Structure 1
Amino acid sequence: MSEPRPETRGHAAHVVVHPVTDADEDPFRRVDIVTAHVGVAHDLEDVLDLMRRAGLDDGDLDDPRLVEWQGGGPEVWH
């Protein structure tokens, strides 16, 4: 795993995937990492990409200590 970025170093990494937002029939979920908004995801691969960009290369989307799914789990995108 790569060295965490300074904003996540010393913290338990915590990813929050917010409930689905249905924007003009293109649903997405807002993603925050360590309380900072990092982008939106349209599917699981987008969540993983945002995590990799934040230095969380070994992110387990099923680990509740790492990822908090609000408004439904990883299977909910609509």
Structure 2
Amino acid sequence: MNGENLGVAYNLEDLSEFLRRAGLDLDPVAAAASPLIDWRGVGPECWSIDGRG
């Protein structure tokens, strides 16, 4: 938080868990569409819900 790296998300469930730990309880689909996320490199269109592609 506050610019601190919270880890690496490998799928939308990882992202949702990082957000939950930061106090934002969003399901994976809502997290993928959130304007709060600054996607770098690939984004949610390259991930499936289960992280397999």
- Per residue, is there more helix in 1 or in 2? 2
**Unaligned runs of at least 5 residues, structure 1:** 1-32
- Per residue, is there more strand in 1 or in 2? 1
TM, length-normalised to structure 1: 0.46
Q: Kindly tell me: are residues 62 and 34 of structure 1, through their superposed partners in 2, closer, same or farther at Cα, counting changes over 3 Å?
A: farther
User: Which amino acid in the other structure matches residue 47 of structure 1?
Assistant: L
Question: Considering only CA atoms, is the larger Rg found in Structure 1 or Structure 2?
Answer: 1
2:50 alignment partner in structure 1: none
Tell me which stretches of 4 or more aligned residues in structure 1 moved more than 4 Å. none
Return the offset for 1:34: 3.2
Among all aligned residue pairs of Structure 1 and Structure 2, give the percentage whose two residues are the same amino acid. Answer: 44
User: Are 1:46 and 2:17 matched, yes or no?
Assistant: no
Rounded Cα–Cα distance in structure 2 between residues aligned with 1:75 and 1:45? 14
How many pairs align? 45
User: Are 1:69 and 2:39 matched, yes or no?
Assistant: yes
Q: Is the 8 A contact 2:15 2:31 kept in 1?
A: no
For the aligned residue pairs, the C-alpha RMSD in angstroms reads 2.2
TM, length-normalised to structure 2: 0.62
**Unaligned runs of at least 5 residues, structure 2:** 48-52
